[in-house]
Amino acid sequence: MFDSFKKTEVYKSVFRHSYQDTQRNRALQVVDNVFLHLHPVRIARHAADVGFTWGMGGISFLLFLILTITGIILMFYYRPTAQYAYEDMKYLMNDVAFGPLIRNMHRWAAHAMVLTVMLHMFRVFLTGSYKPPRQFNWVVGVVLLLLTLLLSFSGYLLPWDQLSIWAVTVGTNMARATPLLGHQGPFGPQLGMRPDNDIRFLLLGGTEVGPPTLLRFYVGHCIFLPVIAAVFMIVHFWRVRKDGGISGPDINKKAA
């Protein structure tokens, strides 16, 4: 019965090789899988050493995946308008099945991701992994740190409670002092910047934190910033491979 099933076109199109533990099948398992084949064929011994890498880059990526999934789930109950946002957050926390779990996963993963990205950066600095030929990837990493912080900041407004509104009020007040583009920054007034046409106005969609701000931050948080971050992550991982995998101790120095 099972043997005849194994001979069907459907089975053969899904499972493309036998399961015997041979070198060939092991290689096929990796090569025939779109996700596994993205991994390098071989890595250096130190690249698997947690004491060397701390695993922080990988953990950051894992947290990003968790945040994407839990974030999409939260979007089913959250409406980004001033009328409903706070109520929906309360609803999620009190009456939605597994709502508190999903929201807290999102919240804690977000806090953790800021931490792991910084620790990842710290490790890269300590091991000198920003040095040639990896300078470009360091710059990509700095952009990713910035995007992580922006994602964290924009998500902070979405509960729409007093804490988030005032935190974002204080945070976006910094934009007033942007050189040239802020109405209180150097050369801003000379260029005709007012509270209702400067960079902060663009950010808030108004002259103060209000309903347009909530919508802007929501779209930025759920669509714009994650997509940009994903693009930079692709470049980041691709550069790791192109620059010879995870950096290690200087082989030439050791030999001398």
Partner 1 sequence: MAEQTPADPSRPEPQSSTPTTPVATPQPAPVQITSTPPPRKAKQDRAPEEDPGIWRMNRRNLLAITGWLAFLSFIVASTIGALRFMFPRVLFEPPTKFKAGFPQDYVIGEVSDKYKEAHRVWIIRDNAGFYSLIAICTHLGCTPRWLPSDNKFKCPCHGSGYYKSGINFEGPAPRPLERAYIGLTDDGEIQVDTSVTFRYELGQWGKPGSFLTYTG
Query: Which spans of this chain sit near partner 1 (rule: CB under 8 A)?
Result: 169-170, 173, 195-197, 201-202, 205-208, 210-212
Determine the Cα–Cα distance for residues 131 and 105; give it in Å rounded to an integer. 36
Q: How far is the CB of 210 from partner 1 (least distance, A)?
A: 7
State in angstroms the smallest separation of the CB of 212 from partner 1: 7
Inter-axis angle of helices 225-242 and 56-75, nearest 10 = 160
Nearer to partner 1, 54 or 201 (CB): 201
Alpha helices for the chain (secondary structure H): 2-6, 9-14, 23-31, 50-53, 56-75, 85-94, 99-126, 135-157, 162-173, 199-204, 211-219, 225-242, 251-255
Q: What are 169's two structure tokens?
A: 């009020």
- Taking the complex as a whole, how short is the minimal distance between the CB of residue 230 and partner 1, in angstroms? 20
| Burial grade of 162 (CB within 10 A; 0-12, 13-18, 19 or more) | exposed
Q: How far is CA 43 from its chain centroid? A: 24
Do residues 68 and 102 touch, judged by C-beta distance below 8 A? no
86 within 8 A of 155, measured Cβ to Cβ: no
The residue (of 153 and 201) whose beta carbon lies closer to partner 1 is 201
| Structure tokens that stand for 55 in this block | 């695993």
- Minimal distance in Å, beta carbon 202 to partner 1? 6
Beta carbon of residue 41, minimum distance to partner 1 (angstroms, whole number): 23
In the bound state with partner 1, the residue whose beta carbon lies nearer, of 61 and 224, is: 224
Q: How many residues does the chain have?
A: 256
Q: Which is nearer to partner 1, 160 or 201 (CB)?
A: 201
For partner 1, the closer of residues 87 and 196 by Cβ is 196
Q: For residues 103 and 183, which CB has a smaller minimum distance to partner 1 in the complex?
A: 183
Q: Which is nearer to partner 1, 80 or 99 (CB)?
A: 80
DSSP-assigned states of every residue in 151-195: HHHHHHHTT-SHHHHHHHHHHHHGGGG-TTTSTTSTTTGGGT--T
Least CB distance from residue 206 to partner 1, whole Å? 6
CB 168, min distance to partner 1, A:
12
